[in-house]
Amino acid sequence: MDRFHEKDISGCGIIGIMEQSGKRFSGRDIITSIASMRERANGLGGGFAAYGIYPEFKRDWCFHMMFENKSAMVQTEEYIRDNYKIVKDEIIPTKEDKSIKYRPLLWRYFLQPKEEKKKLHYDITEEDFVAKTVIEINTRISGAFVASSGKNMGVFKGVGYPEDIGRFYRLEEYEAYIWTAHGRFPTNTVGWWGGAHPFGLLDWSVIHNGEISSYGINKRFLLNYGYVCAFFTDTEVITYLFDLLVRKHKLSFEVAADILTAPFWDDIERQSEEKREISQALRIIYGSALVNGPFSVIVANTNTMVGLNDRIKLRPLVAATSGNKLYIASEESAIREVCPTPDEVWMPKAGEPVIGRLKGKNG
């Protein structure tokens, strides 16, 4: 814990832009937008998630890796080679930026799991196999970190202001249909490359402003399902909760939101009988997945982008649409920076998700 700075008045900044038609656009806008919220960050973390950036490898699992040293890379590659066919691997292209002083070795791998290895794990799905790999690397190999592990998507993050990180990774050269960005003001954990947001697992990415006071309960709940929270970050917990509820338990985002930001018992009392029964059941079954504390998050996967606030609105969140584009951000001005005249601008209600869906897909 060596990077504590004097406390500034600040809070993280988040923004997500989704083109719901699936049309891809360059990373220029998201950099401009997050740069306008520079005050919300303090240079100790910035990052981006981008969906649709590797169409030529869209069937392969893409691992964005950070290695602190060469031996971490050697160990990781050995582990990967054991379990996967490496379709392609290369250094993640970057551009020198004088504000970014330290950088780990950044490498990406396009992978296909080996059938015979998958079979060793009785009835495991391919997703579970990949998730297991990610958690193994993150917890077992010192100095190695999987920043993202989805298909046709990637997380680009590091220690620095987000706009510098974005230029460093040359994001204006990529095209995606969902971009999310985060400017970090670390409060509870140190600013390090892996700890920057977004947090990624499979095709999930999560960016987050705030803190989760239910961290301990959520972490223990997740452990029952094989999720090991290794990084002491709130973002990790939220990512695993969405993975569990939406991917594994096949719940809709609306229901997932009703679990994470469940209505108060008082409000449940006033619901219609039908709704009340559902709400009560969810609170009983998933009580330990309730997320408390002040937060606003943007969660994305291949087909969806979701913005969500805590139940009593302790962090800012604004949404807007323009044609097929959905914007969700900490500040309205961050949206207007790249979309001066949106069709609609609104403040989502606390605990009610704003959901963007890829046209023709059920998110």
**H helix or E strand, kind and range, residue 298:** strand 295-301
Residues 108, 181, 337, 355: which binds other proteins (CB under 8 A)? 337
Closest approach of other proteins to the CB of residue 346, in Å: 4
Using CB under 8 A as the binding rule, whether residue 348 contacts other proteins is answered as yes
Residues in contact with other proteins, shown as a per-residue x/- string from 2 to 41 under the rule CB under 8 A = ----------------------------------xx-x--
State which amino acid sits at residue 343. D
Residues 342, 355, 356, 358: which binds other proteins (CB under 8 A)? 342
Q: What angle do CA 207, 209, 215 make, to 5 degrees?
A: 90
Tell me how crowded residue 80 is: count the other CB atoms within 10 A of its CB.
18
Closest approach of other proteins to the CB of residue 344, in Å: 5
Q: Annotated catalytic, 62?
A: no
Q: What angle do CA 325, 327, 331 make, to 5 degrees?
A: 155
CA-atom Rg of the chain in angstroms: 19
Cα 226 to the center of its chain, rounded Å? 19
Q: Read off the tokens for 213.
A: 């006071």
Using CB under 8 A as the binding rule, whether residue 306 contacts other proteins is answered as no
Using CB under 8 A as the binding rule, whether residue 58 contacts other proteins is answered as no
For 301, left (φ over 0), alpha (ψ -120 to 50), or beta?
A: beta
Peptide bond before 113: cis, by omega within 30 degrees of 0?
no
Nearer to other proteins, 55 or 340 (CB): 340
The whole-angstrom separation of Cα 344 and Cα 23 is 20
Residues in contact with other proteins, shown as a per-residue x/- string from 258 to 287 under the rule CB under 8 A = --------xx--x-----------------
Using CB under 8 A as the binding rule, whether residue 347 contacts other proteins is answered as yes
Which residue out of 12, 62, 229, 339 is catalytically annotated? Answer: 12
Using CB under 8 A as the binding rule, whether residue 254 contacts other proteins is answered as no
Cα 169 to the center of its chain, rounded Å? 17
Binding site for other proteins (CB under 8 A): 36-37, 39, 266-267, 270, 312-313, 316, 318-320, 322, 331-334, 336-337, 340-350
Q: Just list the catalytic residues.
A: 12
